[in-house]
Structure 1
Amino acid sequence: MDTGTHVVMGFALGGLATLDPVVAQDAVHFHSVLIATVLGSQAPDIDTLLKFKNNAVYIRNHRGITHSVPAVLLWPLAITAVLSIFFPGTDALHLWLWSFLAVFLHVFVDIFNAYGTQALRPFSYKWVALGVINTFDPFIFTIHVIGIAAWLFGAQPGPTFLAMYIFIFLYYIARFAARHDVKKAVLARIPDAENIIISPTVRFHQWKIAVRTKDAYYVASAFKSAVTILDKFKRLPVPENEIIEAAKQDKNLSAFLSFSPVYNWQVKELDNGWEVRFTDLRYRKNGHYPFVAVVKLNEDLEITGSYTGWIFNKKKLKKKLDVVPR
C-alpha cells in the first residue's frame, strides 16, 4: 500500500489496541503502543530510501528483505527495545505484540497489490502479488480516515476500528470475487492464455490486464467483466547474441528483468552502436508503456548509457542515457 494508507493503518491499530486491557490501563501503555503501531506500520518501507541511490537498486530490493520473514520478526523487537527506553515500566510483551501486528499487517496487505512482496524470503524469493487491491485504494484509505475522525470526536476507538476492519475484510472478499469474474472473462476471450496478470486500479470495476500465450502478448483492460483488448504483440524469444548478452551485463537491465514478468524487447542499430530496449507491458497508460529498461552500447559493445524506470517523454530518456553508468 502507499505511505499514507500505512500511516492511517498505524493509528487505527493503536486505537484498536485499546481493546487490550493492559494497553487501556494507563496513558503510558497506550502512548507507547500507539507509537509502536505507527512505527511498525512504516518500518518495512524504509527500503524506499534506496530510490535515492538509483532505480536499479530500488527495483531489486524494494519490498524484498525488509518485508521478509526475519524482518517481520526483527522489526518489532527493535521497536520494542527502543520504546522501552523512552517508556520505562511499559509492558514489553504487549508492546511487542502490537508492534508485531503492525509490521505483519503492513507486509500482509502489500501482498494483495500487483507489485507484491518477497514476503516468503528466505524460504522463497518468488514475488507474491495477488493483484486484488491497488497500491492506493480510496475505500480503504477513506474508511480509515473516517474511523480516526470518529475517534477524535469522541467515539470509542476499540469498537470503532474493530467494525472498520470487519468492513474491510468484506471489501477484500468483494475484490476477490470481482477479480475472479475478470479472469473468467479473459479466459473466454483468450482461451490459450498461459499467464494472466490482472492489476487493480483506483476504480473498483476497472482493471489492467497483461496476458501471455504461446505465440503472443495481449494488453487489455476490463470494466467489470467486459474485456477490451488494446494491443497484441507477437511473442518472440529474446535472442542469444553478443548485443543482448552485453546489454544484460548492465545493472539497470538486470534489475528490470528480475522484476518484470511480461515484456517486449527491441534492438535498434544506431550510427555509432546499438540501443537495446525492454518494455514492461503491464503499465499501459494512454497508449504509452512508460516502464522501460534501455541500454546504449557503442560499436565495441561497451555500455555508454542505461536507464530503468518510468519514462513519459523522449527528452527525459535522452538525458538519462547521456550519463555513463558506474
Structure 2
Amino acid sequence: MDTGTHVVMGIAVGGLATLDPNISGNSALAQSVMIATIVGSQAPDFDTVLKLKGNAPYIRNHRGPTHSVPALFLWPTAITLALLAFNPSLPWLTIWGWSFFAVFFHVFVDIFNAYGTQALSPFRKKWIALGVINIFDAFIFFAHIVAIILWRFGSDPGYTFLTLYIVLTGYYIWRYKENRAVYNLLKQQHPDATHIFISPTFKWNLWHVVIRTKEYMYVTEVRHKQIKYFETYSFDPIPDHPIINAALYDDNLSAFLSFSPTYRWELFTEEHGYTVKFTDLRYRSKGHYPFVAIVQLDESYTPISSYTGWVYNKETLQRKLEQAAVQ
C-alpha cells in the first residue's frame, strides 16, 4: 500500500491495541504502543532509502529483505529496544507483540496489490502479488480516516477499529472474488493462457491485464466485465544471443528482470552500436509503457549506458541515459 495508508493503519492498530487488558488504563503504555504500531507499520518500507543509490538497487530489494520472514521479528525487536531505552519499565512483551502485529499487518496487506512482496523470503524468493487491491485504495484509506475521526470525537478506539477491520475483511473478500471473476472470464476467452497477470486500478470496475500464451501476449483491460484488447505481441523468450547476453550482465537490466514477470524485449542497431530494450507490459498508461530497462552497448558489446525505471517520454529517457553514461 501507499505510505499514507500504512500511516493510518498504524494508528488504527494502536487504537485496536486498547482492547488489550494490559494496555487499557495505562496511558504511558498506550502511548508507547501507539508509537510502536505507527513505526512498525512504516518499518518494512524503510528500504525506500535505497532510491538514493539508484533505481536498480531499489527495484531489486524493495519489498524484499525488509518484508521477509526474518524482518517480521527483527523490526519489532529493534522498535522494542528503542522504546525500552527511553523507559526500561515498559512491559517489553506487550510492546513487542503489538509491534510484531503492525509489521506483519503491513507485509500482509502488501501481498494483495499487483506489486507484491517477497514475504516468504529467504525460504522462497518468488514475488507474492495477488492483484486484488490497488496501491492506493480510496475506500480503505478514507474508512480509516472516518474511524480516526470517530475516535477523536469520543468513540471507543478498540471497538471502533475492530468494527472497521470487520468491514474491511468483507471488502477484501469482495475484491478477491471480483479478481477471480475477471480471471475466469479471461480464461474462458483464452483457455490456452499460461499466465494471466491482473492489476487492479483506482476504479473498482477497471482492471489492467496481460494474457500470455505459448505464442502471444495480449495487453487488455476489463471494464464492467467487458474485455478490450489493445496490443498483441509475439511471446519470444530471451534468446541466446551475444548482444543480449552481454546486456544481461548490466545491473539495471538484471534488476528489471528480477521484478518483472511479463515483458517484451527488442534489439536495435544504432550509431553507437546496439540498444537492448525490455518493456514491462503490466503498466500500460494512455498507450504508453512507462516501466522499462534500456542497455546501450558499443560495437564490441560493451555496455556504455543503461537505465531502468518509470519514464513517460523519449526525451526524459534519453536524458537519463546520457547522465548514466557520464557517471
Category of TM-score, reference length = shorter chain: over 0.9
Verify: 1:7 aligned to 2:7, yes or no. yes
Q: Distance in 2 between matches of 1:251 and 1:77?
A: 33
Q: Distance in 1 between matches of 2:174 and 2:62?
A: 28
1:92 Cα shift? Answer: 1.0
1:266 Cα shift? Answer: 0.7
Q: Deviations over 1:249-276 (max 9, x none)?
A: 1100111111111101110100230111
Verify: 1:324 aligned to 2:325, yes or no. yes
Q: Which residue of 2 aligns with 1:196?
A: 196
Q: Which residue of 2 aligns with 1:283?
A: 283
SS of structure 2 residue aligned to 1:23: coil
1:52 Cα shift? Answer: 1.3
Q: Deviations over 1:186-222 (max 9, x none)?
A: 1122221110010111111111101110100011101
Change (3 A) 1:325 1:170: farther
Q: Distance in 1 between matches of 2:270 and 2:90?
A: 66
Q: Distance in 2 between matches of 1:43 and 1:191?
A: 42
Verify: 1:117 aligned to 2:117, yes or no. yes
Aligned pairs for 1:102-251 (under 5 A) are 102-251=102-251
Q: Distance in 2 between matches of 1:21 and 1:213?
A: 55
Contact 1:182 1:224 in 2 (8 A): no
Given residue 129 of structure 1, which amino acid in structure 2 is its aligned partner? Answer: A
Q: Which residue of 1 aligns with 2:254?
A: 254
The TM-score with structure 2 as length reference comes to 0.98
Contact 1:304 1:325 in 2 (8 A): no
Q: Deviations over 1:30-51 (max 9, x none)?
A: 0000000001000010001101
Q: Which residue of 1 aligns with 2:83?
A: 83
Name stretches of at least 5 consecutive residues in structure 1 with no aligned partner.
Answer: none
Q: Deviations over 1:151-180 (max 9, x none)?
A: 111111011000000000000000011011
Q: Distance in 2 between matches of 1:273 and 1:248?
A: 16
Change (3 A) 1:153 1:260: same
1:325 Cα shift? Answer: 7.7
SS of structure 2 residue aligned to 1:24: coil
Verify: 1:64 aligned to 2:64, yes or no. yes
Q: Distance in 2 between matches of 1:7 and 1:122?
A: 27
Q: Which residue of 1 aligns with 2:24?
A: 24
1:223 Cα shift? Answer: 1.4
SS of structure 2 residue aligned to 1:324: helix
Given residue 253 of structure 1, which amino acid in structure 2 is its aligned partner? Answer: L
4+ runs deviating over 4 angstroms:
none
Q: Distance in 1 between matches of 2:37 and 2:118?
A: 22
SS of structure 2 residue aligned to 1:16: helix
Change (3 A) 1:16 1:129: same
Contact 1:118 1:127 in 2 (8 A): yes
Q: Deviations over 1:296-315 (max 9, x none)?
A: 11111111110000110111
Given residue 91 of structure 1, which amino acid in structure 2 is its aligned partner? Answer: P
Name stretches of at least 5 consecutive residues in structure 2 with no aligned partner.
Answer: none
SS of structure 1 residue aligned to 2:309: strand
Q: Percent identity?
A: 54
Q: Distance in 2 between matches of 1:128 and 1:273?
A: 38
Q: Choose 223-232 or 270-279, whichever is displaced more.
A: 223-232
- The number of equivalent residue pairs is 326
Q: Which residue of 1 aligns with 2:265?
A: 265
1:224 Cα shift? Answer: 3.1
Contact 1:256 1:308 in 2 (8 A): yes
Q: Deviations over 1:11-33 (max 9, x none)?
A: 00111111111111211110000
SS of structure 2 residue aligned to 1:305: strand
SS of structure 2 residue aligned to 1:132: coil
Q: Deviations over 1:100-137 (max 9, x none)?
A: 00000000000111111111011111111111111111
